[in-house]
Amino acid sequence: MSILTLNNGLLLASDGSVNPLYVSADLALWTLIIFGGLLFLLGKFAWKPIIEGLNAREQCISDKIDAADKAEQQARTNLKQYEEKLAGAHDEAAAVMAEAKADANSAKEKIVAEANEEAIRTRQRALGDIETAKSEAVRELAESSVDTAVGLASSIVGRALSKDDHAKLIAESVERFSSPGA
């Protein structure tokens, strides 16, 4: 068994090692005083600034999170507005395209109608020109026929026809040639 001895207020074993279970009252008292003083100094000069720094950091992080949330909400609002504007622009573009198509169809119909009217006018002018040419040709043919007939008649009859007789024969011939049954 080992023998315990007291040396400088420490309980020593026979081999010279310190017994860890031994508590010295004066050492415990000084340790407690030093520990209390250290707690007081740390509390006054270190923990307050550390806690204030941690609180300020926590507040800064909280503010940044709030700002990020607000920025996210603003971004979502902006995105929604841009999407609405984009949809409105798409609708407006579709309306402009529809209006352009309607204008193009209207212009097409107008051009076709004007072309049809011009074709009808041209056809009527051409028919009028044909009728005039036909009338002129019939008149010339009648005059030529009358001149030939008068020449033959005067050579057969032996006398010349007067201008009145000649005009009367031309009018009768034109009337005969221009009538539908002639």
pLDDT higher at 153 or 99: 99
Beta bridge partners of 7: 10
Angle (CA) 174 179 182, round 5°: 90
pLDDT higher at 160 or 90: 90
Mean pLDDT of the chain: 82
Tell me which residue range forms the domain holding 67.
Answer: 5-178
Tell me which residue of 142, 150, 155, 178 sits closest to 166, measured CA to CA.
150
Structure confidence at residue 147 (pLDDT) = 75
Q: How many domains does the chain have?
A: 1
For the cut 50, the answer to whether the pLDDT of residue 1 exceeds it is: no
d(CA 63, CA 161): 129
Beta bridge partners of 50: none
Q: Residue 12, SS3?
A: strand
pLDDT higher at 162 or 69: 69
